[in-house]
Amino acid sequence: MDYLKSFIMMEKRKGDFMKLAFISDIHGNAIALDAVLEDIQNKGVEETIVLGDIAYRGPEPKRSIELVRKHSTQIIKGNADEWVVRGVEKGEVPDKALALMQKEADWTKNQLSEEDINFLNDLDTELIIKAGNKKIHAFHATPNSLFDVVNPNDSNEKLLAELTQKEKADVYLYGHIHQAYSRVIIGKRIINLGSVGLPFDGIPEASYVLVEVSNNSLQTSHVRVPYSIEKAIQMYDEVDYPNKEMMKEIVRNGEIS
């Protein structure tokens, strides 16, 4: 399947001020998403952009989709959104995890309406934002794949080859790996958002990126938002989520043990 669809374009006039929030990897943790959306509102953010993985692996997939659709201006697809639509296929995850992850995808899909599934299926996979003379290229994993992994400790050469070759931009934003970081390589700013619902960097708080553009200057910052982790963990029990013990530990610790 060709995962790349048409670009979404969002233009601002030269000289305008913009405050943008980029969020990703909610994974059905609507309680964490509630906290992030409240923080975004308190900061006076004008545009909220979602870089995929909305529903799968959390206890509240439907409410997560509803919140995203209500509060976001642009939304693109992640690999987990694709899994909800058509299931997890062999070769996409370790063989020993395949059956359980397929069960989780089936459970998630059963919580959603046909409209929800069609919404996920129809999402685009890349986003370009132009503001003044600045250009942002945003995607879930890489510009060419929903599944490829680019890690914070990969070489400069790999980051440039995997993330920056398709479009010339000032800033490249992505999700997928659940590890918030920022690097500048030969003038290109590469930023991972971290995860709203399932951070893997050892900080059990929701993560997103704030981008502020004024005239032709651009500033970025990671924002960490505390939320009621115990309430989120309780939700896994209330809905009797498959694989709930593992997922509860990830939420509690902010990392995979």
**Using CA atoms, how far apart are residues 194 and 221, in angstroms rounded to an integer?**
12
Q: Which pLDDT band holds residue 10 (cuts at 50, 70, 90)? A: low
Residue 2 confidence (pLDDT): 40
- The answer to whether residue 1 is domain-embedded is no
Query: What would the pLDDT profile of 114-145 be if each residue is shown by its tens digit?
Result: 999 999 999 999 999 987 788 999 999 999 99
- The answer to whether residue 243 is domain-embedded is yes
Average pLDDT over all residues of the chain: 93
Whether the per-residue pLDDT at 253 is higher than 90: the answer is: yes
Whether the per-residue pLDDT at 246 is higher than 70: the answer is: yes
Residue 255 confidence (pLDDT): 94
**CA nearest to 80, candidates 178, 190, 7:** 178
- The answer to whether residue 3 is domain-embedded is no
Residue 130 confidence (pLDDT): 87
Whether the per-residue pLDDT at 27 is higher than 70: the answer is: yes
Domain containing 82 equals 22-253
Domain harbouring 199, CATH code: 3.60.21.10
Residue 216 confidence (pLDDT): 77
- The answer to whether residue 210 is domain-embedded is yes
**Using CA atoms, how far apart are residues 108 and 102, in angstroms rounded to an integer?**
10
Across 222-242, average pLDDT: 97
**CA nearest to 168, candidates 132, 217, 139, 128:** 128
- The answer to whether residue 55 is domain-embedded is yes
- The answer to whether residue 9 is domain-embedded is no
- The answer to whether residue 10 is domain-embedded is no
User: Phi and psi dihedrals of 49, rounded to 5?
Assistant: -120, 135
For residues 213 and 143, the model is more confident at 143
Query: What would the pLDDT profile of 153-191 be if each residue is shown by its tens digit?
Result: 999 999 999 999 999 999 999 999 999 999 999 999 999
Whether the per-residue pLDDT at 214 is higher than 90: the answer is: no
Query: What would the pLDDT profile of 32-73 be if each residue is shown by its tens digit?
Result: 999 999 999 999 999 999 999 999 999 999 999 999 999 988
Count of the separate structural domains present in the chain: 1
